[in-house]
Amino acid sequence: MAQKKRKPRTKKSPRMDIRTVAAHAKVSIATVSRTINHISTVDPVLAKRVWKVIEELNYFPNTQARALVSGRSHILGLIVSEITNPFFPELIQRFEECAVDRGYEILITSTNYDPKRMISCVRRMIERKVDGVAVMTFGIEEPLLDQLSSQHIPLVYVDSRPRQSPARTLNVDYRHGIWQGVQHLAVLGHRKIAFLSGPLTLHTAQLRYHAFVDSLREIGIAPNPAWLIEGDHTLEGGMSGTEKLLKLADVPTAILCSNDMTAIGVMHAVLDAGLRIPEDISVIGFDDVHIAQFTYPPLTTIRMSCRDLAQGAITILCSGLESSSISPNVHDLVISTELIVRRTTGVPRDTLRDLKPLLPASPIPMHMLSTKK
Amino acid sequence: MAQKKRKPRTKKSPRMDIRTVAAHAKVSIATVSRTINHISTVDPVLAKRVWKVIEELNYFPNTQARALVSGRSHILGLIVSEITNPFFPELIQRFEECAVDRGYEILITSTNYDPKRMISCVRRMIERKVDGVAVMTFGIEEPLLDQLSSQHIPLVYVDSRPRQSPARTLNVDYRHGIWQGVQHLAVLGHRKIAFLSGPLTLHTAQLRYHAFVDSLREIGIAPNPAWLIEGDHTLEGGMSGTEKLLKLADVPTAILCSNDMTAIGVMHAVLDAGLRIPEDISVIGFDDVHIAQFTYPPLTTIRMSCRDLAQGAITILCSGLESSSISPNVHDLVISTELIVRRTTGVPRDTLRDLKPLLPASPIPMHMLSTKK
DNA sequence: CTGTTAGCGCCTTCAG
DNA sequence: CTGAAGGCGCTAACAG
């Protein structure tokens, strides 16, 4: 006796699933499934009927079930240090945009610089069966690698490469960015340029540091050790670094910073000292965080394209997943940088004296910007 | 012939599932399931054995499968206007914390003020079968309500109540917050206080506006219409509003703003005009966004507790889901506000003249703050 | 207290 | 080109 395969289903319960759709459209569930997945071998007539029913019934496929059977969750994980760090929001936004465009959802987790939470982040990723994860933390923990790779989850480091890892990496073109900053300052007439670096234990901070020194040498200036200060990528670090600088017998006329938070700290310290920006001291940041445009004056800074960063990460992550033959060897991508001139950079006073009086003090008109190369 | 129930499974494929664990621990899968779910009727000895195997095998339960069968995804949705809006990051962070504490994951989506994207946000929520969604957008769209409620998904509006909706709401105690701001200014000696409101089409902006007017009346000051300006909660709105104010014959000595972005705009405009903060004009913001502490000078503002906001939203959302008898009638929660005194408020110049010369000009010591009530 | 069994909603061979 | 059937990994009744 061929009992119904399925339980009678408490009757009266108009559960909305693929079966309901199939029944209404008078086709099998397989056809509905194929239609939803845009499989081209479906008779257009049937497909149309199915779509119509889906519309009418207001049916939404259950992602959980799809994930369960297909083995692909269509979720991309994102591990950041701290959401409130001004560095992250725009990056997250871009990430979301790119992911959604490709049909993925993103799972954001933050470590809050706490190793315990990092463990938990990784666990959450694995439990939700993410298809890949992008790591954007500052102090990297290693358990990550092992755990995730043991689950065969693709991994990509965004702007934070650990020593040597099997994971792929996004490479930001720090050299060019810093070079542009130095050139900009040089063109304005600055010769006494200080650099407030990040913590030199960070690989990416080192890259910026070396880029600065090299760029300086390129224009024939020997770096003055007293003007090379190690900061910590925080506002406080920027302030204390600046205080050291201002105590010097020979005070620089411009300060280039390893990130924007440092630059904001520099601005506070400079203003606290009763000096003006950019008349007395020019300041340049790095990152172009969202709030850089809201400082007073708005901060001149070097932007790295968040869109490229996010897109790159997602491309790398997806390239392994999707069978599309494109992008075979996108192992390491390079992200470009760009100088954003706002109002914290101007002609140094000493220079002003020697120039024709009709030269505008600040801001500098666009045509004065260096674009040579 | 009792063929094995399950396919031989391509052999060699050590798939990590609950069955593998059961086999290794020499118990049934049901016992493993119960152990994982901390069901107290499991023999401690078996439980221990199971946990040990789980550890050894490095097993993680598949959330997708659990969700599928249990009908609860343990995902909470979050719809915001725009992640990069300084208003959101901290809120999101708190949200994540609270959610994770309760064993939920959060799905963040942003509308970017685009109705089309809003539709897509809602669809994503439904497809991922979220257990509830918190809405924190500025310009609310209505399709939301219908779609989500037709799927029986609990909904809560955070600081943005639409007209009349069946959904629950979080109520911020704007009255008290604004009152504290006005009191603070009054105690410092300000009498000429302007208010730069948000767009009065927004319910929450109206609340703040009326709270201001009432607070002023309470201290015996009749609101001067010329000092009541409608802004739009943006930096630009803050600037242009301030410019109007500064053109007046009678310029106010303090400006209270409906949100922090407006306040930052005010600061720019004031400084651009060559005036000093707080010596010439005091400024107070509202929200205490993360960057308020980074402005120059750091912004005095009225904070609404993000933790309370997030916790409240999650409590409301979960209260219907969890069978725990607690929190029966947490329909509408009220979120408290708090004045955060930084350095944009001080004694007005006019007052200074009349006071004893030993009164500090700025900042104001804490004991001078009004705490009466 | 433990094990057996029937699905959760969907995708995917495999026959027709 | 379509339909029937067997799981994906897990939970939730039921029996023992």
pLDDT band at B1 (very low <50, low <70, confident <90, very high): very low
- Note whether residue B103 is domain-resident: yes
Reported as a pLDDT band with limits 50, 70 and 90, residue B124 is: very high
Between A92 and A362, residue with greater pLDDT: A92
Query: Does any domain span residue B362?
Result: no
If you measure CA to C1', which residue is closest to nucleotide D11? B69
Mean pLDDT within B15-39: 92
Is the pLDDT at B363 greater than 50? The verdict is: no
- Are B84 and A124 a contacting pair at CB < 8 A? no
Of A67, A96, A123, Cβ closest to residue B110: A96
Comparing CB atoms, the residue among B64, B93, B109 nearest residue A129 is B64
DSSP B156: E
pLDDT at A149: 85
B58-107 pLDDT per residue, tens: 999 999 999 999 889 999 999 999 999 888 999 999 999 999 999 999 99
DSSP class per residue in B35-76: HHTT-TTS-HHHHHHHHHHHHHHT----HHHHHHHHS---EE
What's the pLDDT at A357?
Answer: 40
* Helix B18-25 vs helix B44-57: crossing angle, to nearest 10: 120
Note the pLDDT tens digit of each residue in A39-77.
988 888 889 999 999 999 999 999 999 999 998 999 999
| pLDDT for A322 | 60
Same-domain check for residues A226 and A287: yes
Q: CA A68, CA B68: separation in Å to the nearest integer?
A: 8
Region B106-112 average pLDDT? 94
The answer on B346 and B254 residing in a single domain is: yes
Whole-model pTM: value is 0.88
What CATH number is attached to the domain comprising B60? 1.10.260.40
pLDDT tens digits for A269-287?
A: 999 999 999 999 999 999 9
Task: Report yes or no on B8 lying in a domain.
Answer: no
Residues B242 and B131 in one domain: no
CATH number at residue B89: 3.40.50.2300
Domain co-membership, A237 together with A325: no
pLDDT of residue B11: 44
pLDDT attached to residue B350: 67
Is the same domain home to A268 and A230? yes
CB–CB of A110 and B93 under 8 A? yes
Going by their DSSP bridges, the two strands A337-340 and A300-304 should be labelled as antiparallel
**pLDDT tens string A284-301:** 999 999 999 999 999 999
Question: Judged by CB atoms within 8 Å, which residues 286-315 of B form the interface with A?
Answer: 290-291, 294-296
What string of H, E and C letters represents the secondary structure of A238-288? Answer: HHHHHHHHHHCCCCCCEEEECCHHHHHHHHHHHHHCCCCCCCCCEEEEEEC
- Tell me: do B272 and B313 sit in the same domain: no
- Domain assignment present for residue B372? The answer is no
Helix (H, G, I), strand (E, B), or coil: what is residue A99?
A: helix
Least confident span in A139-153, A242-256, B171-185? A139-153
Does B259 score more than 60 pLDDT? yes
Kindly tell me if the per-residue pLDDT of B296 is higher than 60: yes
Question: Quick one: A346 and A228 in the same domain?
Answer: yes
What are the φ and ψ backbone dihedral angles of A253, each rounded to 5 degrees?
A: -100, -10
Asked if residue B152 and residue B65 are part of one domain, the reply reads: no
A284 is a domain residue: yes
The model's confidence at residue A263, banded by pLDDT at 50, 70 and 90, is: very high
Contact partners, residue A323, CB within 8 Å, separation at least 6: none
- Percent residues over pLDDT 90 in chain A: 65
Look up residue A299 and give its DSSP letter. P
The answer as to whether B300 is a domain residue is yes
Task: Please answer yes or no on whether A120 and B109 come within 8 Å at the CB atom.
Answer: no
Number of domains in chain B: 3
Q: Is the pLDDT of residue B326 over 90?
A: no
End-to-end CA distance of chain A: 84
User: Is the residue at A11 inside a domain?
Assistant: no
Domain match, A38 and A92 both: no
Q: Which domain holds residue B157?
A: 75-173+307-335
The verdict on A330 and A232 lying in the same domain is no
Please judge whether B83 and A73 are an interchain contact, meaning their C-beta atoms are less than 8 angstroms apart: no
Q: Is there a single domain that holds both residue B125 and residue B252?
A: no
Nearest residue on chain B to A268, alpha-carbon basis: B296
* Chain segment A156-192, per-residue pLDDT in tens: 888 766 555 666 778 899 999 999 999 999 999 999 9
DSSP B181-243: HHHHHHHHT---EEEEE--TTSHHHHHHHHHHHHHHHHTT----GGGEEE--SSHHHHHHHHH
Residue B366 lies in a domain: no
Q: Evaluate if the CB of A67 falls below 7 Å from strand D.
A: no
Query: In B, residues 47-76, which contact A (CB 8 Å cutoff)?
Result: 58, 60-65, 67-68, 73
- Nearest by CB to residue B127, choosing from A60, A107, A127, is A60
Q: Are B73 and A64 an interchain contact pair (Cβ–Cβ within 8 Å)?
A: yes
**Same domain, yes or no: A125 and A204:** no
Angle between helices B306-321 and B89-101 (to 10 degrees): 40
